[in-house]
Structure 1
Amino acid sequence: MSEYPAESIDLHRRGLEARDAGRLDEAADLLRQAYEAGHPAGAHELGMMAADRGDERQAVGWWRRAADAGLPESAFEVGYAAERAGDRDEAGQWYRKAAEGGHTGGTLNLAVLTEHGGDVDEAMRLYRRAWDLGSDEAAFNLGRLYDDEGKGDLEAAGTWYTRAAERGNGGAAFNLGFVRQDQGDSAGKIEAWRRAADLGHPNAAFCLGLHYGESGDEDTAIVWFRRSVQETGHDKAGHNLSGIYRRRGDERGARFWSEFSTGLSGYSPEFEAFASAGSAAAIQQQDVLNDALGDGYISFDVDARTLDSGGRTFHGMTFLGSFSHVSQTWLWAWDNPHYSSDLPAIAPLRAIREHGERHAIPELVTGGLDLSGFPDPAQAAATMAIAAAGLLGGNGVRSCRVNDGKGSFYFHLDDPALPVAGFDHLAASRLLMTAAEIFPAEQRRVVRGFLAHHGCRIRESADVVDGLFPQGGQVTVAFTGEGRIKAISSGRTAAE
């Protein structure tokens, strides 16, 4: 049986329902009635609503009432407010009240204040209590105290860091690596840092890169430095990568990684190799799609995978991502916090990401990319979206402005009702030259990819790539010694 009056429980429930539905005035009235009828959580929720409005004074007033009525979570909030205001003595009193009620955060914060006050033994007792209540951070702090910067009880430190890491604490796993290093356990250090990297610690992958680089395994060092830059934006990892690629004579790779965290001015060599092969065919398919769709207002449904444009509904929509015209950054939809990566219109992006992982293409596996160094960042984003969408097949990419023009959403369509581009010998020269301008360092790959896309029989020499198409067309492309297109001839074969 509940300790609160039945009427107060009903009022509290109705108040929460009204709050969740956005009826805030009604919610406040019901929660106030719930508190007055004997349910202290009504006062706690009123405090949370006041905090959401930015009214801390009123929030603390409600939390005090709930705490005085025995609610430990409210005592914690009052203590936290006092700590933010700089009153550690009052904060400690409220944290102790929360801890006595079994509140994990109150116990942990009381331990921290106690440690800062110099009573390490009592702090460790409180940290153990917080650990028993479920706090991985408490175990981390116990490991830190036992560790004592490598001068303490390393066995005990390792035990507590391991416990915290097992509950998902990346900092504990990272520090455990140094404990293992101090114990002379190199394999244990690597294992701990790998776990820390998987848990998202910002320095773990970088330290692994340093370890493998110092061990002479430069290829493995590259893998970890790249992961460090891509996942955490680690500037030093980018600098180290740039140096490795420059020593190897790869200036394009060196440039890319030196700019990764500050604003890219070009794509990675891996992306250019991937995207250039399908670029001319993608441009052709985009032309066909744009003609079919025309202009018009766009709306979309990420559950039904539909896109409405010009009064027509198209199916097989995949939400690729968004571009901010303010920050000049790209965000893949699978990394957008406003959407679940499991939504029907986002789930197909796994194929793009998996391709990027298999072929080490950073643009396809990094959630957000700063494109501000490109001459035209918006066009760079569109090019990247179109190239990546080629992995999904279908009809091409559609975009629309959002947020008063401050951003753009990009969608891929795969609707059988939409037309598919076929080989057009009249357009071939234009398509190849347009694609070659986008990927000037990969012009031979541009040509080969276009010919292969249309199923041609390719003949290639140092100076010429020649393709005969099943439909009867022929394309011949001559190259300079530097691999740039010198001349293109396209037309129908004599047999036609």
Structure 2
Amino acid sequence: MRRFRPAASGLLALCLVLTAGVAGAVNLTPPHGRHVPPLRLPPPVDPATLVTTCDSAAASPDDGQRTGPGVSTESLDANLALAQCGDAVRLYPTTARFHYQLGRARQKLGDYTGALESYRRAAELGSPIGAFSAAVMLRDGNGVVRDDDAAARLLAACADKGDPACLNALGYQYQQGLGVGRDPARAAALYRQAADGGLASAAVNLGFLYRDGEGVARDYAEAARLFRLAADKGDAVGSRNLALFYRDGLGVPKDEALAVTYFQQAADRGDEDALIKLAFAYISGSGVGRDAAKSFSYYQQAAGRGSSDGMAGLAYAYANGLGVAADGKMAAFWMLRALAAGNEYSFDQLANHWNAWNLDMRVATQAMLRDRGLYGGELNGTLNRETLAAIRRLAGR
């Protein structure tokens, strides 16, 4: 047995040598590749910093939590927003603004129940505009069952956080006694807080309280100051009411020319009633030189915006040839349009001052009432019982 040990040892050595040689020849060293760092997950995405497709489609310019510039209700593509914001809500279910933006899409599509649900969920997640939107729907019964108590609770919750819009709306609830006990003094305090937060409409509302002595001592000077504050912030109602104060000399020196300036400012900002005031100023020469053509133009602008007072003004202009050629048929046309729109002046003129209008206009009025199927009598310009009944029917009375 000892004779074979060296041979065995030699064979083993030979095998090792051969193995090493083969390994060297075919490079059997295990591959190790490049250095790979440990796997690190990206940091979690913060939805508050994103501008998603939902934001681009449905963010509101009035939402303090928005990302991006926002989209007006008129420009909002509701079907696109519904799809994009539905995806955003599923991906980020605890982000308040996505629920609110989904609510905007639903409301524009007429899904008021769904919109209210989305607004309420947004409110629960901390969206002031969501709370405000839900409250307004409930307060006004806009497509849902009216619930003043629920509206007041929603507004109180976001007013406690200092949101100006909610403070202002809650002030209205207290002023009118909607869902809370009527308390004009509390309303004034809430309006003041909202105005101090920069909300122009709250300054206007507080101005009305000072004008009327409601919840505060009547103070025309303070009311004028508040209206001016709102006007300086671009509020049309503030501009119009400041104009009225200058026209009538309430809290400020009477200045009809300055009143016209502020009426024009309000009209430029979209206020229909300011257009009527300007039209009257140019007819009467109050603060400006008389100019019937300009007066007619302002009545046209107001009527074009759907103002029934503008329609009645056109009827007056056509009947009297003010700024336009006299035309009884056109006078009747605009008078009846105003009447159908619920205009009180038109009803009073036709029902109580019929004979003050010229015969052509009265006959044309009867003819147009007949064309509407409301009158079957003679076309003689007489305010008979049948004509009066037709006028009342058109007015919805």
What range describes the TM-score normalised by the shorter chain of this pair? Answer: 0.5 to 0.7
**Partner of residue 327, structure 2:** 255
Instruction: Give the distance between the partners of 1:23 and 1:175, measured in 2 at CA.
Output: 38
Instruction: Give the distance between the partners of 2:83 and 2:315, measured in 1 at CA.
Output: 54
The verdict on how the C-alpha distance between 1:170 and 1:69 changes in structure 2, with shifts beyond 3 A counting, is: closer
**Partner of residue 36, structure 2:** none
Mapping for residues 182-197 of structure 1, pairs under 5 Å: 182-183=249-250, 185-187=254-256, 188-197=258-267
Instruction: Give the distance between the partners of 1:30 and 1:157, measured in 2 at CA.
Output: 46
**Partner of residue 311, structure 2:** 235
Instruction: Give the distance between the partners of 1:69 and 1:22, measured in 2 at CA.
Output: 24
Instruction: Give the distance between the partners of 1:66 and 1:80, measured in 2 at CA.
Output: 14
Deviation at 1:97, TM superposition (A): 1.6
- Larger Rg over CA atoms: 2
2:236 corresponds to which of 156, 162, 170: 170
**Partner of residue 55, structure 1:** 111
Deviation at 1:229, TM superposition (A): 1.6
2:154 corresponds to which of 56, 72, 94: 94
**Partner of residue 160, structure 1:** 226
Deviation at 1:81, TM superposition (A): 2.6
Q: Deviations over 1:421-447 (max 9, x none)?
A: xxxxxxxxxxxxxxxxxxxxxxxxxxx
Deviation at 1:218, TM superposition (A): 9.8
Contact 2:85 2:99 in 1 (8 A): no
In structure 2, the residue corresponding to 1:232 is in which secondary structure?
A: helix
In structure 1, the residue corresponding to 2:325 is in which secondary structure?
A: helix
The residue identity in structure 1 corresponding to 2:123 is A
The verdict on how the C-alpha distance between 1:221 and 1:82 changes in structure 2, with shifts beyond 3 A counting, is: same
In structure 2, the residue corresponding to 1:70 is in which secondary structure?
A: coil
Deviation at 1:189, TM superposition (A): 3.2
In structure 1, the residue corresponding to 2:276 is in which secondary structure?
A: helix
**Which structure carries more relative contact order (alpha carbon 8 Å, separation 6+)?**
1
**Partner of residue 315, structure 1:** none
Mapping for residues 373-384 of structure 1, pairs under 5 Å: none
The verdict on how the C-alpha distance between 1:5 and 1:42 changes in structure 2, with shifts beyond 3 A counting, is: farther
Q: Does 1:13 align with 2:79?
A: no
Structure 1 unmatched runs, 5+: 264-372, 374-496
The residue identity in structure 2 corresponding to 1:111 is G
Q: Does 1:114 align with 2:174?
A: yes
**Partner of residue 130, structure 1:** 194
Instruction: Give the distance between the partners of 1:100 and 1:196, measured in 2 at CA.
Output: 33
Which is helix-richer, 1 or 2? 2
**Partner of residue 91, structure 2:** 33
Q: Does 1:147 align with 2:216?
A: no
In structure 1, the residue corresponding to 2:261 is in which secondary structure?
A: helix
The verdict on how the C-alpha distance between 1:241 and 1:54 changes in structure 2, with shifts beyond 3 A counting, is: closer
Instruction: Give the distance between the partners of 2:92 and 2:171, measured in 1 at CA.
Output: 34
The verdict on how the C-alpha distance between 1:175 and 1:257 changes in structure 2, with shifts beyond 3 A counting, is: farther
Instruction: Give the distance between the partners of 2:129 and 2:107, measured in 1 at CA.
Output: 14
The residue identity in structure 2 corresponding to 1:45 is Q
Deviation at 1:75, TM superposition (A): 1.6
Q: Deviations over 1:110-131 (max 9, x none)?
A: 1110111231222112112222
Deviation at 1:160, TM superposition (A): 0.9
Deviation at 1:235, TM superposition (A): 2.8
Contact 2:319 2:328 in 1 (8 A): no
The residue identity in structure 1 corresponding to 2:159 is A
2:101 corresponds to which of 45, 51, 74: 45
Deviation at 1:108, TM superposition (A): 1.6
The verdict on how the C-alpha distance between 1:199 and 1:186 changes in structure 2, with shifts beyond 3 A counting, is: same
The residue identity in structure 1 corresponding to 2:153 is Q
Structure 2 unmatched runs, 5+: 1-42, 59-76, 304-309, 336-367, 369-397
Instruction: Give the distance between the partners of 2:287 and 2:266, measured in 1 at CA.
Output: 21
Contact 1:238 1:257 in 2 (8 A): no
Contact 1:241 1:257 in 2 (8 A): no
Mapping for residues 414-493 of structure 1, pairs under 5 Å: none
Contact 1:206 1:224 in 2 (8 A): no
Q: State the TM-score, normalizing by the size of structure 1.
A: 0.44
1:79 corresponds to which of 135, 140, 146: 135
Instruction: Give the distance between the partners of 1:14 and 1:204, measured in 2 at CA.
Output: 40
Instruction: Give the distance between the partners of 2:221 and 2:275, measured in 1 at CA.
Output: 25
Q: Percent identity?
A: 23
Mapping for residues 351-362 of structure 1, pairs under 5 Å: none
The verdict on how the C-alpha distance between 1:192 and 1:256 changes in structure 2, with shifts beyond 3 A counting, is: farther
Contact 1:210 1:221 in 2 (8 A): no
Which is strand-richer, 1 or 2? 1
Instruction: Give the distance between the partners of 1:98 and 1:143, measured in 2 at CA.
Output: 23
Contact 1:12 1:30 in 2 (8 A): no
The verdict on how the C-alpha distance between 1:176 and 1:256 changes in structure 2, with shifts beyond 3 A counting, is: farther
Instruction: Give the distance between the partners of 1:89 and 1:45, measured in 2 at CA.
Output: 25
Deviation at 1:12, TM superposition (A): 7.7
The verdict on how the C-alpha distance between 1:261 and 1:167 changes in structure 2, with shifts beyond 3 A counting, is: farther
The verdict on how the C-alpha distance between 1:223 and 1:168 changes in structure 2, with shifts beyond 3 A counting, is: farther
Q: Deviations over 1:289-309 (max 9, x none)?
A: xxxxxxxxxxxxxxxxxxxxx
Deviation at 1:59, TM superposition (A): 2.9
In structure 1, the residue corresponding to 2:80 is in which secondary structure?
A: coil
Shifted more, 224-233 versus 19-28: the winner is 19-28
Q: State the TM-score, normalizing by the size of structure 2.
A: 0.54
The verdict on how the C-alpha distance between 1:258 and 1:162 changes in structure 2, with shifts beyond 3 A counting, is: farther
The verdict on how the C-alpha distance between 1:170 and 1:261 changes in structure 2, with shifts beyond 3 A counting, is: farther
Contact 2:100 2:122 in 1 (8 A): yes
The aligned length equals 255
